[in-house]
Amino acid sequence: MIEHVDLSQVNWARAQFALTAMYHWIFVPLTLGLSVLLAFFHSIYVKTGNEEWKRLTKFWMTLFAINFAIGIATGIILEFQFGTNWSNYSWMVGDIFGAPLAAEGIFAFFLEATFFAVMFFGWNRVSKGFHLFSTWMVAIGSNLSALWILVANGWMQYPIGMQFNPDSARFEMQNFWEILFSPVAISKFTHATSSSFQMASLFVVGISSWYLLKGRHQLMAKRSIVVASVLGILASGYVAFTGDEAAYSVANKQPMKLAAMEGLYDGEKGASIAAMGIVNNAKEPGDKQDAFLFDVKIPGLLSLLANREFGSFVPGINDLVFGNKEQGIVGADERIAKGKMAIEHLTVYKEAQKHGYAVQAEQALNEFNKYKDDIGYGYLNKPADIVPPVATTFYAFHIMVILGTIFPLVFLLFLIFIKKGTLHSHRWLLNLGLACLPLGYIATEAGWVVAEVGRQPWAIQGLLPVSVANTNLTTGTVQTSFFMFFALFTVLLIAEIKIMLTQIKNGPEEN
């Protein structure tokens, strides 16, 4: 099907997707979380009628709008990039993948776009009640848009509710509800939104801490901290719960990703979790080297996390690459062989169809059906191709988990000292709150690195490797567009940060 796969072209296309997605994700979590905080702030204002709360709401709204604009700018490219750089993917799964994107447009984007203008400009134009309603609609709209895109992403990680159609040579939808309510989609949505609430809370706490350190806008800062810390703690609980759910579904649906997250090469019963470690980069699947240069393990915990059972078996990278008869795991070599059979029979089938040889076509189709589940493996060259970059996945996962564990403690400390009325005298905590702001961004980006790097080489888990999903472009073309985006987004990011910092420095009354 693809005779000459230009790996450097694929890698540039991947780099471009990573670049645009990571830039976009700088702005999305803040939009998701801050929209909810704005709804809280605005509700308190309407309930109390206190002008201070209005000032506070308007201040955070200004920062929200700056962030929102660049979020839109970086977002449009992601929708169209599926077509421009991944056209074969778009054709092969467009029947399934397109629907959530269209639903996102219809159900969510218009809510955001329509009510954003009311929220922002409605102070003197619409009634107080309708204005508040609009602020809530922006929060609901943003989070609904996250639902649909994560349903789409969840489906790529765990493709269900569809079947391969040999006549059109594409995957076709069989069950919309199975796709919408896929356990992976649900855990992705809940984890991404709750961690975004957490990140936005860190943003508000961080900036408010800076004001307290400077001795400015103390009342506004403290009020903001209270609301944000409460949301932050609640969100952190959800983050932990949904993170556990996400890990459980990864263990079941994408065992290779889990193995890479933990740097686990040889599967074992009662597998331990690496609390931290330094990955041995020279390690290859199947060799005798240690996976880590240094590590601290917690026994039994990985089995618990993966299977909810202490003594259970967790497969490692070697089990999945080379197979493990004892545990009934089929190795990648066998699956590659089957995949190649599937491709071969599909080609024979299409050829026979073209010439009208009905009997031959039926035979080929029967043979194809025997092997079709492994069709994606047929495009790989060697068993070790199914291993994602272990070090990147491992580090990203551990950074995310460690930071995610620290954040709720920080929120808790803020609440305790604000209740005691001594927050301003604990400068170390205010400094910590400020430091957590960039750390929140790092944690949430790391989460996506785990999700996306950890599923390599697949665009769609087990069915379509990235090397087959791309568009027939030259490396130079993709390189050129990569650098165009890199330059443009960087310029816009610099502008955004400068504007944002100036607004923060000026504070609420100068806006």
Residues in region 469-488 near other proteins by CB under 8 A: 471-473, 477, 481, 484, 488
Residue number, 137 or 271, with CB nearest to other proteins: 137
**DSSP secondary structure letter of residue 174:** S
Residue number, 76 or 409, with CB nearest to other proteins: 76
- Alpha helix (H) residue ranges in 3-50: 7-48
**Min CB(294)–other proteins separation in Å:** 43
Long-range contacts of 182-185 (CB under 8 A, 24+ apart): 182/151, 182/154, 182/155, 182/158, 183/158, 183/245, 183/249, 184/154, 184/155, 184/157, 184/158, 184/249, 184/253, 185/150, 185/151, 185/153, 185/154, 185/155, 185/158
Which residues inside 50-69 make contact with other proteins, applying CB under 8 A? 58, 61-62, 65-66, 68-69
Residue number, 11 or 114, with CB nearest to other proteins: 114
Q: Tell me the sheet residues that pair with 465.
A: 458
**DSSP secondary structure letter of residue 324:** B
Which residues inside 351-410 make contact with other proteins, applying CB under 8 A? 354
Report how many residues bind other proteins under the rule CB under 8 A: 85
Does 511 help bind other proteins (rule: CB under 8 A)?
yes
Long-range contacts of 177-183 (CB under 8 A, 24+ apart): 179/96, 179/100, 179/151, 179/155, 180/100, 180/151, 182/151, 182/154, 182/155, 182/158, 183/158, 183/245, 183/249
For the chain, how long is the longest CA-to-CA vector?
Answer: 85
Contact 270, 303 (CB under 8 A): yes
Residue number, 391 or 499, with CB nearest to other proteins: 499
**Min CB(357)–other proteins separation in Å:** 16
Q: Residue 314: CA atoms inside 13 Å, Cβ hemisphere, count? A: 33
Residue number, 37 or 70, with CB nearest to other proteins: 70
**CA end-to-end span of the chain, whole Å?**
59
Out of 7, 47, 110, 382, name the contact with other proteins by CB under 8 A.
Answer: 110
Does 222 help bind other proteins (rule: CB under 8 A)?
no
Residue number, 87 or 252, with CB nearest to other proteins: 87
Rounded to 10 degrees, what is the CA torsion of 379, 383, 384, 390? 80
Place of tokens 């949505």: 189
**Min CB(77)–other proteins separation in Å:** 6
Return the structure tokens found at 185.
């989609």
Residue number, 65 or 219, with CB nearest to other proteins: 65
**Min CB(75)–other proteins separation in Å:** 8
Which residues inside 113-172 make contact with other proteins, applying CB under 8 A? 113-118, 120-126, 130, 134, 165, 168-170, 172
Out of 7, 50, 105, 409, name the contact with other proteins by CB under 8 A.
Answer: 105
Of 84-92, 214-222, 277-285, 393-401: span binding other proteins (CB under 8 A): 84-92
Out of 6, 15, 44, 90, name the contact with other proteins by CB under 8 A.
Answer: 90
Residue number, 258 or 346, with CB nearest to other proteins: 346
Out of 7, 8, 50, 106, name the contact with other proteins by CB under 8 A.
Answer: 106
Three-state SS across 67-106? HHHHHHHHHHHHHHHHHHCCHHHHHHHHHHHHHHHHHHHH
Residue number, 83 or 286, with CB nearest to other proteins: 83
Place of tokens 């502008």: 495
**Min CB(478)–other proteins separation in Å:** 9
**Min CB(105)–other proteins separation in Å:** 4
Out of 6, 22, 94, 479, name the contact with other proteins by CB under 8 A.
Answer: 94
Which residues inside 312-351 make contact with other proteins, applying CB under 8 A? 350
Nearest to 239 by CA among 200, 206, 274, 271: 200
Q: Is 296 helix (H, G, I), strand (E, B) or coil?
A: strand
Of 34-42, 325-333, 459-467, 496-504: span binding other proteins (CB under 8 A): 496-504
